[in-house]
Amino acid sequence: MSTSSVTQDEYGAPGLMGLSNYGLSCCVNSLLQSFSATQEFTELLNRWQMSDTDIPEDCNTPLQLQRLLRKMQSDKSHTAHHEDFLRCLDRNHIQLYVQHDVDEVFLSILNLIQQQISDKELAQEIKQLYKITVEQNLQCQTCFYLTKDTSYFLSLPLPISDCSNTVENCIHCFFELQDITGNFCLCERCGERKPTKQGFKLVSLPNVLCLHLKRSGYSLRSGYTKKLNCEVKFPEVLDFQTILRRDQISESTQEVSWKDVESTFGGSRRCAYMLMYQRRQDKMPQSSN
């Protein structure tokens, strides 16, 4: 099965190149289209020149990705074939002909870029494109002592319910204090393990915000994990200061702006698993959306 459709912009010029579907490669295809449409990512990757390395070309993920993205952007009049890139992923333990979680593949590709690019400074610049910095809080439920630590995500994992959702509500819930089920944490003040709540505060957002919609839920009726096909509505622009309370934002955070995101929905046939919002460069003051 393959797809050869090519999108067009408002002027009728070819847009993103179509990609063949090599048996369950659709989640990789969607990531490739996202990478290709992210100018900051392609510009950084194109700056890299492979030097002496112990990694063979057919196993070198950033090299194969660089070649493929250049091909996708050079001639958009036909469908791109990308067996070399898929085989490269397979050699790096992202197996062909296996249905994968798109967020796992996304994070795996970014990790492989970090490991296999010889220019470590450039690799860090690519990582910074997606880096969401948060303040992690653990609160003892006996004495309410609070410990803080700074960590980061490359995609924000948003749990959803099995009914209608909005991205704003999912983000708000993610930053609420939550009980750590079945696990006690050591409280420095009590000197022993106590029931604990965990929460996050937002420190900074990246140029490209990746939101992972966690569409797996445990069914009490069946005792198995089920797929959640429910609708998740999300806006064209996200304004985090209208989503989060002041106490959910670290004192060092600033608001940021976002580019358009193509709308999608949940249903029996189509549902979004990952959203990427891009920082908007036009009309962006120091404190912006």
**pLDDT tens by residue, 271-288:** 677 777 777 765 444 433
> Length of the chain in residues, anyone?
289
DSSP per residue, the chain? -------B-TTS-B-SPPB---SS-HHHHHHHHHHHH-HHHHHHHHH----S-SS-GGG-HHHHHHHHHHHHHH-TTSPBP-HHHHHHHHHTT--TTS---HHHHHHHHHHHHHHH-S-HHHHHHHHHTT-EEEEEEEEETTT--EEEEEEEESSEEEE--SS-EEHHHHHHHHTS-EE-TT--EEETTTTEEE-EEEEEEEEE--SEEEEEEE-EEE-TTTSSEEE----EE--SS--HHHHS-GGGB-TT--------------SSS---SEEEEE---TT--SS--
Confidence band of 207 (pLDDT split at 50, 70, 90):
very high
pLDDT score, position 98 = 87
Residue range 38-92, pLDDT digits in tens: 999 999 999 998 876 778 999 999 999 999 999 888 866 677 789 999 999 999 9
Percent of the chain with pLDDT over 90: 42
Decide: pTM greater than 0.85: no
Is the confidence at residue 2, as pLDDT, over 50? no
| pLDDT (0 to 100) of residue 218 | 63
> Where do the domains of the chain lie, and which CATH numbers do they carry?
1-129 (3.90.70.10), 152-179+204-289 (3.90.70.10)
Smallest Cα–Cα separation from 215: which of 269, 162, 277?
Answer: 162
Q: What percent of the chain clears pLDDT 70, i.e. is strictly above it?
A: 80
State residue 279 phi and psi, 5-degree precision.
Answer: -60, 130
Structural tokens at position 63: 């090299």
State the pLDDT at residue 282: 57
Query: Is residue 135 within 8 Å of residue 148, measured between CB atoms?
Result: yes
When pLDDT is cut at 50, 70 and 90, the band that residue 201 belongs to is very high
pLDDT greater than 50 at residue 132: yes
